[in-house]
Amino acid sequence: MKVNTEKKYENYLLEVKDNVAIFTINREKKLNAVSESCFKELYEFLCEADDDPDIRVIIFTGAGRKSFISGADISGFSSSGTPGALKTRWADRAANKLEMCAKPVIAAINGYAFGGGFELALACDIRIVSENARFGLPEPKLGLIPGLGGTQRLARVIGMGRTKEVVLAGREITGAEAVDIGLAMKCVPLDDLMDEAMAVAKKLMTRAPLALAVAKKLIHHSMSTNIDAGLYLEAMGFSLLMVTEDTKEGTAAFREKRKPNFTGK
């Protein structure tokens, strides 16, 4: 399956540049708040990108200068009249696919990342933030709790104590602080955000695609398995990669002092 670069999305813009897919939520007038159709389109795009050998890295960002994703578009969920409508059938699929996609996913966070926006960012592999970035989980103000991993993924990234401050006490995290507490890789001026994300994407593309996919899956499993099982799975993954064409190419390139040409095989 190939990503259709000519496809017109209702809620997103897609640009593919040098094997990097830049997927931008394009709802600037609503501060990029997400609706059910947003989650559905995101999930469908990720499935296509996951199967496209020409896509090596995905950058996920928001349109404009104010907001990455400001949370749920409550107006779009209000028709059922129940709080449960805020949790859509596509939301979990999109968040889980972001996390488990075989391709590395970089979140370029430009401004507000509240509620579901924060949680989608948590499902990405690497977070790069602008200086005006703000993170928060305001769901308890609506009588709810974070429903896309905010109580689970966040605690695994910044620890239980800080997560309680964010979820229970409503504390917001700034872009600079996100780096200090391990939530983000780097904080840069807003005008430099996409350049920095592309620079990280280019570094990722110097690595073998299969190795990245296996390593990513093992890292995720490390959070839900004991050390003995985890080390066994790691050894199995190492052994499987040893017979791939990419490993042969990588070791040959190292001996010959040249850049490897990985094909993902």
Which two structure tokens, joined as six digits, stand for 198? 């592309």
Q: What is the DSSP string of 17-78?
A: ETTEEEEEE--GGGTT-B-HHHHHHHHHHHHHHHH-TT--EEEEEESSSSEEE-SB-HHHHG
Catalytic, out of 28, 36, 44, 139: 139
Residue 114 neighbours by CB under 8 Å, 6+ apart: 69, 70, 71, 134, 135, 136, 137, 138
**Distance (Å, rounded) from C-alpha 229 to C-alpha 19?**
35
Calculate the CA 146 to chain-centre distance: 17
Which two structure tokens, joined as six digits, stand for 145? 């709790």
DSSP 191: G
Catalytic, out of 41, 119, 177, 196: 119
Q: Does 10 participate in catalysis according to the annotation?
A: no
Q: Does 131 participate in catalysis according to the annotation?
A: no
Catalytic positions, written as ranges: 119, 139
